[in-house]
Structure 1
Amino acid sequence: MSMKPSGVEQNRWHVLTACFLAYAFDAMDFMLLAVAMPVIIRDFHLSLAMAGLIGTATLIGVGLSSVLVGLCADNYGRKSALIGSLLVFGVFTAAIAFSRGWLDLMVLRFLAGLGLGGVWGVAAAFIGEVFGSRQRGRAMALVISAWPVGFGVAAALARFILPGYGWRVLFLCGFGAIVAAIYTMCFVRESAVWVADQEKAGVARHKVSISEIFSDELRWTTIFGTLAATFALVGYWGANTWIPTYLSKERGLGAANMTTFVILLNVGMFVGLQLFGWLSDRIGRVRSLILSFVGATIMMPLYSLTSSNAVLLWMGPVMALFFSFSGIFGSYFAEIYPLRVRSLGAGFCFNVGRGLSAFAPFVLGAIAAKTNLSTSIALCGAGFALAAVFTVALAITRRRASLHVELAV
């Protein structure tokens, strides 16, 4: 008997690999800006508020991308949407190397964001359709664990490139996303579930529109899902945008030591994603999300108030264990939306959440200008606490919807 894996099995692993690579480059793109920010601030003589607006421009583009790429994925396929996202943010991230000033950076980060936001929703739908429910949580957690890998790669590149070659050369590394696009183009087949749905609908199929995720059945799912993601990402982006600058400016770390702290923080996040992915398949998505948010709520102020750099070094990865919500959201959101609007719905909640959280770096930068970055990072805990509240509201909404369906039957 042949032990050769079936075509379906082979494609499953190609999808997993492609989504992992895509999300790793997505993360690397975000982290390149964070680790380069102290040098950019110095070179362009920016205030903390102006620097925060660069991060805000990225996240506004991400919010718009969730709608544009989600519609593309549900109407034209997961594969083409993923390739398009990779090409857009790869090209515009590399173009930052040629920025002449603050305005150029703002525009290019916004354009890169139009590609960055698409990856998460497409990956959530793709993984949800090629893996069974008992493997979905771990598979999505593995894809999302590419995030700390990408962060770590960006920090390592910064450690090597920044001192000798400068931040412009660092951003040229954004071209690496094209590698993931080529892999997807050559090895990944379209989702069989999506293709079957297209063939079943045939010529009668109507194009997916954004109004469908605000229908009577899905309106509160979309609203509470978006609010849960928004406040989780307010806490996450508020912290991760400013932690490298906090370590440099307020803790007195040089570039090499700062990147070591950031790499260890992302090792903790990688471990946390695997742990919470496993937990979500065992105890459920909602319970795992609540545990993640409560842990982050407690750890954020403890991290920012720690006086010893030695303790801070090891507290970082412990805190980052609880930054695991994005993997659980990926499997949860893909399960609560029907196939027809799966990529749009999941991507809308998470990436519009990113867009709505866009002002967190700016607001926290403004607060830091009047107080300090330690205070701003501590305040991020409040975002995770509110995310827990809205996750509970989402779970209650879904439970009521299920009861209504059962009663109707």
Structure 2
Amino acid sequence: MERITDSRYYAAAVYAGSTIFLFADQNLLSPNLSIVAEEFGFDDEERDRKLGGYVALAFFTLGCPVSFLVGYLADRHRRIPLFALIIVLGEGACFFTYFTTTYTGLLVTRALTGISVGGALPLIFSLLSDMFGSEHRQLVSAMVGGGMGFGIAFGQMLAGFVGPAYGWRLPFIIVSIPAFICALLMLTTLKEPARGGQEAAVKEIGGGSGGRVQDSSGGGGNKEWVERENGNIPARKAVCVPDVYKPSEDGWETFKQLLRNKTAMLLFLQGLPGCLPWGLVYVFLNDYLSNDRGLSIESATLVITLFGVGCFGGLVVGGAYGQYLQGKSSKQPIILMAVTEIIGCFPLFYLLNNVGEGSSYGVALLFSMLSGFMASITGPNVRAVLQNVTLPEQRGAAFALLNTTDDIGKGAGPFVIALMVTAFGDRQLAFNVVILGWLLGGIVNGLIYFTVEVDEAACQKIVRETYVKSIEMASLDERKSEQLSLMGLGGAGEVEKPRGKKVGVGMSGGVDDGEESVVIIDV
């Protein structure tokens, strides 16, 4: 019987748990902006500019280059140790935020915390795409995305209720310690999945790891069980093959290839305007509702918490329904993505312009949850589509680019909002303009309807051709090994390593060192 720690669902649960605490960290400051501003002696303008704008900008500015670096490394190195390291670095800074006593110290620790959020997403979705095929990716993306939404809601609620009573610093300790535990679980219980083993083209031919990987190489490779129903390879023969998806030595070439992919480009672009309202909600809205619209900090926090609950529901429903639509046509999830993102604008407009001391608090909670629900349906489908139109060796870089455009929206958004508030002297006007980002993002998502089928088919064609070539090379090398053994030139039971160009089937790590996988292939 398979051990629970060998299950890909257990691994996905660990990754989802990690995202809860990483994203809870992201917004621990926002419910208490005015409290922090009072401690540091800031007026209202300085509060928005320094705490709302500069801190958010620093958080995501560091996250952007980290995403690129981690995306590059994720396509070339073992991803689980890298993920654990990213968590320890970023959440270590979160932990030490508790001890800051100056604005400069706060700015530095929040910037360093961006390492964990910036580096996590390229790794998570690179790993998940090698654990689950296209028939499950919307649901799995929703599971991890649900961890993000729940984490954001949990962080807002924690800071909003703990901060006024015990000080704004304590939530940073509460969130960082469980994140360290998740990193430890990754290192001690999870195994690296074979890269490319879940592609539809590989499964059609007869390969695919089914998610089961036995790492017996001490970290350099893996023994992957691959079933073959056709072909001339003798039953249960061990063939030593390098990774079929060895990335280009030139990391910039990978990014250039992605920029030539029309669907991927549109997915990257939609994140720029589409993430601006998220920056508004999670950085400014709590403080806006309590200081400008007359709600208490606790009441405003509950409004934002219900937004997060709506996000969680939207992620789950969006993933499940998107998966259903994907089974019918790869175009249909695109319609879902575009329409729901645009609809999400309207309940958020209500929150900004109609909530106040004399309005119905119950209606505010309902509209907050509805806005989060509609706007979050897009997320799991965007990530699933990006996995489906990119090659396995490109996905670390692809999610680095997606995360970067998201970070620009989330990080630059609060900074731009702060500048607009300063220039116009009107928070409400600036916030209303920013909400239109979801309208623009929905329009860009709609354009993907015209490109997704072509790019998905092209991706699977390349995977299929490369995999067939790897099988042929493996078979040829096996025959050479047998001939050498019969001639007395090879030891009994030894496997001859292939020479020449490196092609082969799935490998979990050590790509940069040119190490190979021993793969058992059945007829």
- Please, what TM-score do these two structures have when normalized by structure 1? 0.89
Quick check: 1:279 aligned with 2:281? no
Residue 40 to residue 207, structure 1, CA distance change in 2 (3 Å): farther
- Name which of structure 1's ranges 393-402 and 137-146 shifts more when overlaid on structure 2: 393-402
Residue 149 to residue 71, structure 1, CA distance change in 2 (3 Å): same
Residues 210-241 of structure 1 deviation map (CA, whole Å, 9 limit, x = unaligned): 33121287354443222112221112112321
Question: Which residue pairs with 1:389 in the alignment?
Answer: 443
1:226 aligned residue (268, 274, 284): 268
Distance 1:216 1:24 in 2: 29
Distance 1:34 1:405 in 2: 42
Quick check: 1:67 aligned with 2:68? yes
Residue 287 to residue 200, structure 1, CA distance change in 2 (3 Å): farther
1:328 aligned residue (367, 372, 381): 381
Quick check: 1:352 aligned with 2:405? yes
Question: Which residue pairs with 2:348 in the alignment?
Answer: 300
- Name which of structure 1's ranges 328-337 and 8-17 shifts more when overlaid on structure 2: 8-17
Distance 2:141 2:459 in 1: 28
Larger Rg computed on CA atoms:
2
1:16-27 alignment runs, 5 A limit: 16-27=12-23
Distance 2:460 2:248 in 1: 28
Residue 403 to residue 332, structure 1, CA distance change in 2 (3 Å): closer
- Residue 252 of structure 1: SS of its match in structure 2? coil
Distance 1:99 1:406 in 2: 51
Residue 407 to residue 43, structure 1, CA distance change in 2 (3 Å): closer
Question: Which residue pairs with 2:50 in the alignment?
Answer: 50
Residue 242 to residue 190, structure 1, CA distance change in 2 (3 Å): same
Residue 210 to residue 36, structure 1, CA distance change in 2 (3 Å): farther
2:293 aligned residue (230, 239, 251): 251
Distance 2:446 2:323 in 1: 18
Task: Kindly indicate whether the alpha-carbon contact (under 8 Å) linking 1:301 and 1:379 is maintained by their aligned counterparts in 2.
Answer: no
- Residue 99 of structure 1: SS of its match in structure 2? coil
Distance 2:245 2:445 in 1: 38
Measured after TM superposition, the shift of residue 406 of structure 1 is: 11
Residue 368 to residue 188, structure 1, CA distance change in 2 (3 Å): same
Question: Which residue pairs with 1:236 in the alignment?
Answer: 278
Measured after TM superposition, the shift of residue 57 of structure 1 is: 0.9
Measured after TM superposition, the shift of residue 309 of structure 1 is: 4.6
- Residue 293 of structure 2: SS of its match in structure 1? coil
1:8-407 alignment runs, 5 A limit: 10-46=6-42, 47=46, 48-51=48-51, 52-173=53-174, 174-193=176-195, 200-201=242-243, 206-207=248-249, 209-215=251-257, 218-284=260-326, 285-307=333-355, 308-310=359-361, 311-324=363-376, 325-369=378-422, 370-401=424-455
Residue 17 to residue 153, structure 1, CA distance change in 2 (3 Å): same
Task: Kindly indicate whether the alpha-carbon contact (under 8 Å) linking 1:25 and 1:176 is maintained by their aligned counterparts in 2.
Answer: yes
Distance 2:189 2:49 in 1: 44
Aligned length: 405
Distance 1:33 1:309 in 2: 27
Structure with greater helix share of residues: 1
Task: Kindly indicate whether the alpha-carbon contact (under 8 Å) linking 1:57 and 1:106 is maintained by their aligned counterparts in 2.
Answer: yes
Residues 137-177 of structure 1 deviation map (CA, whole Å, 9 limit, x = unaligned): 11110111112221232233224421232112222222331
Distance 2:173 2:83 in 1: 21
Residue 199 to residue 393, structure 1, CA distance change in 2 (3 Å): farther
- Unpaired runs of 5+ in structure 1? none
Task: Kindly indicate whether the alpha-carbon contact (under 8 Å) linking 2:16 and 2:147 is maintained by their aligned counterparts in 1.
Answer: yes
Distance 1:309 1:376 in 2: 24
Task: Kindly indicate whether the alpha-carbon contact (under 8 Å) linking 1:337 and 1:346 is maintained by their aligned counterparts in 2.
Answer: no
Distance 1:403 1:150 in 2: 35
One-letter amino acid of the counterpart of residue 349, structure 2? P
- Unpaired runs of 5+ in structure 2? 197-220, 225-239, 327-332, 466-523
One-letter amino acid of the counterpart of residue 262, structure 1? I
Task: Kindly indicate whether the alpha-carbon contact (under 8 Å) linking 2:153 and 2:308 is maintained by their aligned counterparts in 1.
Answer: yes
Residue 88 to residue 395, structure 1, CA distance change in 2 (3 Å): farther
Residue 263 to residue 217, structure 1, CA distance change in 2 (3 Å): closer
